[in-house]
Amino acid sequence: MDTHTRTVVAEAKTTFSKYKESFGDIKSGLYAMSPLDKSRLPVLVVCSTCRMAPENLKKILKWTPSRKELNAFHIRNPEAFGLGETSFEVRLDHIDGEIIAIKIKNAFSMEESLQLLQLRECHHQVSVGWNKGREADPLPTTKLIRDQIKDEKCMKSSGFRSTNVQKVIHLGPTTKSGCGCKYGYLNKTMNRTIYRSISTHIDRHKWAKTGSKSPSNLMRTSESLSIVDIAMKLYIDLIPKYLLSRKFDCEDVQDCLSEINDNLQLSTLTVTKAKPIAIHRDPPTPTFALLFGDTTHKLQGNKWVDPRLGGTLFFMDGLLELKYSPRDIMIIDGNIAHGVTNVIDSGSKDVTERFSGIIFCKWRREKLKRPGKYSGINV
């Protein structure tokens, strides 16, 4: 790890340590409530006082922690409030506050969840990924870049072949923000040193909604609806509740549903120890991200088993674990800083891989200006 990256990581860990200490009681500002209306879901309330100061949050972005470093999660999670095996909402400040997350337990049948294996296979067939320093790009440590140089997919997405790299001469950040990495390598073919800028590879694929390369066309399923179709339908079903919690006018919400549906986009993402995903915020938008997938779960017989090898979704801003199973969906406010803990290899020759699908909406979405700098909603 170069000196700059080491300094940034140390500052992130120190900032996080002080943030955890500020809670005192780790359950501080976090409590569960059962609505009087029995048709409503239980609510986990997060007080705004738990949230990080903006200047501290900027120091945490781009860091990828381990679950051990986030050890507060054994208490600060829905399971600690009796919500581990049920659907629930997470709201800000009170039982009718803004929705920042919803978990729908068993949104898919067991048969439908098995389609995740096909979707993962299709992802590997079509995904190229990118090395462009996007919003979730982690700090490019020496080890990550060296592992990336050995990976043909990583190198191809950055525009050159790994077979040309004979020896890395120099490795270091391109900018003070640490969002890129500059390295020099000895090119076998040209027999000279070439300097390139590169960011850590993200194995994420944005899918076409229709056509020959859409997931519905590539997935071989006998079901009338694919798991992607079901997830997109659930997205539209949950939009009114989400927007109404944010004081959108009821008629406006109904008028927007068709446009929101037309702007839905599916991405699939794999995360490994060598290809982590960092703490980040999504481009500002009034809508949410819907997450589903087998994550690091393994199919044993006729059931999914969690091997507990990391890859846990969490809100950094508010410090809350948001674990979900292959049969569940989780929606989150992507404007709140979130991440996935480091994935742990099991010790066997097989690399542990976390797989997930993300459905998001381009409706009224703003562009990221640069890492950690946002305009518009919830700033």
Long-range contacts (CB closer than 8 Å, 24 or more residues apart) made by 235-244: 235/264, 235/290, 235/331, 235/359, 235/361, 236/260, 236/261, 238/102, 238/288, 238/290, 238/331, 239/287, 241/99, 241/102, 242/99, 242/102, 242/287, 242/288, 242/331, 243/286, 243/287
Is residue 365 within 8 Å of residue 285, measured between CB atoms?
yes
85: how many CB neighbours lie within 10 A of its CB? 10
pLDDT band at 45 (very low <50, low <70, confident <90, very high): very high
How confident is the model at residue 208, as a pLDDT?
85
Express each pLDDT in 76-87 by its tens digit. 899 989 998 999
How confident is the model at residue 9, as a pLDDT?
85
Express each pLDDT in 253-311 by its tens digit. 888 899 999 999 999 999 988 888 889 988 888 999 999 999 999 999 889 999 888 89
How confident is the model at residue 152, as a pLDDT?
73
Q: What is the reported pTM?
A: 0.87
